[in-house]
Chain A
Amino acid sequence: MAVTHDEAVERTDERKSSWVERLYLREIVAGLANTFRHLVFESPFTTQYPEETIPYNPRARGEHILKVDEQGREKCVACLLCEAACPSKCIRIVPGPAPWDDRERYPVEFEIDMLRCIYCGFCEDACPCDAIELTPKPYTVFDRRETALYDKEKLKNNYPQDWRERFSDGYGKQTGPPFRREAGDRSLIR
């Protein structure tokens, strides 16, 4: 049988406990002590966002970067596989004959519309020469549509080229900040 609200209230109220327990004095004092401990002895948890940031996990999919080789040339060979793989059609590549001897084509123009991008990472999967990567860089806020169109130069310098090394533990294994921090732990804040 369904329990009506009044009956539920009554049952909870009539739970057997001694009158000392029902004064809740011990609980109130314990609660006050707890909040006082937080007030006085514990440092704040929060990050002062615009000035301080916590780096994202390296596996987070943020904005793209176009990788370059040792001579500063983009690795991309303008195969257009990423453009084909992109589900939101945000990549636009204009291929041209490469000015270098080791490849035939290179992207004359390489443009990503960050407003269309859904950060799925399919382009990174499709790329045969690891030329495009998604980095943990958080999505930028735009105030004009034009600024959301990232060209080749912008994409090359969008994030440190060696970010994977920076976030690895030296054995090629990526490490990132833990998702939980203890209160007052400021070691990862920069």
Chain B
Amino acid sequence: MDALYFAFSAIAVYTALMMVTRRHPIYAAGWMLACLASVAGIFVTLHASFLGVIQVLLYAGAILVLFLFVIMLLNPSKEELEAERVALWQPVAGLVLGCFFAGLLVWAVLGDAPGKAIPFSEYPAPDGFGSTTDFGATIYDRYVVAFELISVLIIAAIAAVILVGKRNLRPARPGRTSEPAPPAHRETTEEAVHA
């Protein structure tokens, strides 16, 4: 298992690097797909197969497809992509943040942070760890308030998206002033709901 874990980790890091360095968003999405798959692999090797499968199902199967949808809808040409310039502060900010999180990670693994990481072999997974039952019990028992708060947040986001999405979708229609204009393009809002 350890070997698999490190293999998946290496793939995840490599694909993540490939993702951020690709110029074309389609390729970035493709590498992101590989990255998500290898992160799912990491979850599985850590005895959290439920989480791993959900990772593929939601992130790779649904959210990334929406990314792809938008990328293909815009379909930027090569010239447009090359015309785009990166501002100087962006890589600097990225580097600073990256170093911060890397430091956090090193501190968690090697230092004496609270909830310090324990090597895999010294801490065998308890029976039923990562299973669907275990996962459901944790979410709906221990963290039920947080979970419900998150769902409220998501509903607020959906409502906001609908509001923003519908604002500019009322074209003036000659000859139909007696009735209120129906939403012209229904799919947009529906896709937004899902996002």
Contacts and interface: CB of A to CB of B under 8 A. Distances in A.
Interface of A: 1, 6-7, 10
Nearest to A7: B176
Contacts of B176: 7
B182 interface: yes
A115 B88 CA distance: 78
What DSSP secondary structure best describes chain B's contact surface? loop
B182 A10 contact: yes
Interface string B116-143: 0000000000000000000000000000
A1 B175 contact: yes
A10 B183 CA distance: 11
Nearest to A6: B184
Interface in B136-184: 175-176, 182, 184
A6 B182 CA distance: 10
A1 B182 CA distance: 19
A6 B184 CA distance: 8
Nearest to B176: A7
Minimum-distance CB pairs A-B, first 4: A1-B175, A10-B182, A6-B184, A7-B176
Nearest to B184: A6
Nearest to B185: A6
B57 to A, nearest CB: 30
A10 to B, nearest CB: 7
A1 B175 CA distance: 9
Contacts of B184: 6
B176 to A, nearest CB: 8
B51 to A, nearest CB: 39
